[in-house]
Amino acid sequence: MLARAHRLIRLMITLAILVVAAVVAIILWDYYTASPWTRNGQVRAQVANIAPRVSGQILEVKVQDNQFVHKGDILYVIDPFDFRVKVDTAMARVAERKADMDFRQIQADWRRAIPGVAVSREEKQQYVASAQQAQAQYEGAQADLRQAKINLERTEVRSPIDGYITNLIMRPGDFATAGTVNIHVIDTASFWVDGYFEETKIHSLKTGDPVRMDLMGFHDPLFGHVESITRGIASNNALVNAQGLPAVDPVYTWVRLAQRIPVRVHIDTVPPKLQLAAGMTATVTIVSEEGNRRHMSAQDALRHFGTDMRHLVGHQ
């Protein structure tokens, strides 16, 4: 009787352990496979790479590294002396061309007013053409003056966006070359998160899904929504060799690793005291409308498990 009771107890303990193991397996399966999430997330931001429109020596740097600037704020000043001289020269050229235009127009008007055959028709046309040419030269001089004034304004390099100066290494005395980037501003209105999801989890994602983002080192989460899903990633097998043939990497293992697909997440809310920085690591989780982790039904989970097993053994 006692031995039978011991066997019954051992059986009950074994069944309890199996039940607990099954529950734990289901929970882990739902956590790691059924619920779309990834630890491989990163905060991203747009950076304005600013280059001067004119060349010259930097006279003054008006910002510091990591300083916040508003759109239109002066970042640095290029020596304006040569550009002021060009404005003065262009103004003098405009005055000269205007005087010449007025003189030629008066000549043309005089010839046109002479009656009879004292002045031939061809001569009148010649003076009219000369006046028109002088007017064109005057308009060209005005255009040169406008360009000279714009170039003078461009000696003050301004920020095109609101943002933070980053990696500032310039100093007064450096030479700024037109078209060469020498200062960078992080756009504070452009932050987003890229979540790199396994391709096996992409099927359950769609644009607009609510997302929770937990940054490493911060307790308060961010919330947002799926903005878009990348339609392509780089492939080593897409490369070609010197003969134009595809270079295909041989596969020696039977285990196929899931590719990571970038999912762009728009940030809707940021905790007040949290300072975002491009490059931060984030855990990205697809959640319900209430902000809780999304779960599969038992039927969907079993069907998903069966599909994964068939993929694993290569039957589908």
Residue 126 half-sphere exposure toward CB, CA atoms < 13 A = 5
pLDDT reading at 57 higher than 70: yes
Give domain status of residue 1, yes or no: no
* Same-domain status, 296 and 176: no
When pLDDT is averaged across residues 68-73 and rounded to a whole number, the result is 98
Instruction: Answer yes or no: do 196 and 308 share one domain.
Output: yes
Q: What is the mean pLDDT of residues 203-222?
A: 91
How many structural domains are present in the chain?
Answer: 2
pLDDT of 69? 98
pTM: 0.77
Let me know whether 56 and 176 are in one domain: yes
119 falls within a domain? no
CATH, residue 255: 2.40.30.170
206 and 165 fall within a common domain: no
Q: What pLDDT was estimated at residue 175?
A: 97
Identify whether 229 is part of a domain: yes
pLDDT over threshold 80, residue 285: yes
**224 inside domain:** yes
Would you state the pLDDT for residue 15?
Answer: 86
Same-domain status, 209 and 306: yes
Is pLDDT larger for residue 311 or for residue 69?
A: 69
Residue 125 in this model has a pLDDT that exceeds 90: no
Beta sheet of 175-176, edge-to-edge order: 156-158, 74-78, 56-61, 175-176
Q: Is residue 121 part of a domain?
A: no
d(CA 180, CA 58): 13
87 in a structural domain: no
Identify the pLDDT of residue 209. 92
Tell me whether residue 21 is in a domain.
no
The mean of the pLDDT values for the chain is 86
- Whether 315 has a pLDDT exceeding 60, the answer reads no
pLDDT band at 199 (very low <50, low <70, confident <90, very high): confident
Sheet bearing 68-69, strands edge to edge? 47-50, 183-187, 163-166, 68-69
Which residue range forms the structural domain that includes residue 67? 52-77+160-180
Residue with the bigger pLDDT between 246 and 49: it is 49
Co-location of 43 and 69 in the same domain: no
Q: Are residues 194 and 283 in the same domain?
A: yes
Do 175 and 268 belong to one domain? no
Q: Which of 226, 222, 200 is nearest to 308 (CA)?
A: 200
Instruction: Render pLDDT for 227-277 as a digit per residue (tens, 0 to 9).
Output: 999 999 888 777 887 888 888 877 766 667 788 999 999 999 999 889 999
**239 and 279 fall within a common domain:** yes
CA 69, CA 185: separation in Å to the nearest integer?
A: 8
Task: Tell me the pLDDT band of 208, cut-offs 50, 70 and 90.
Answer: very high
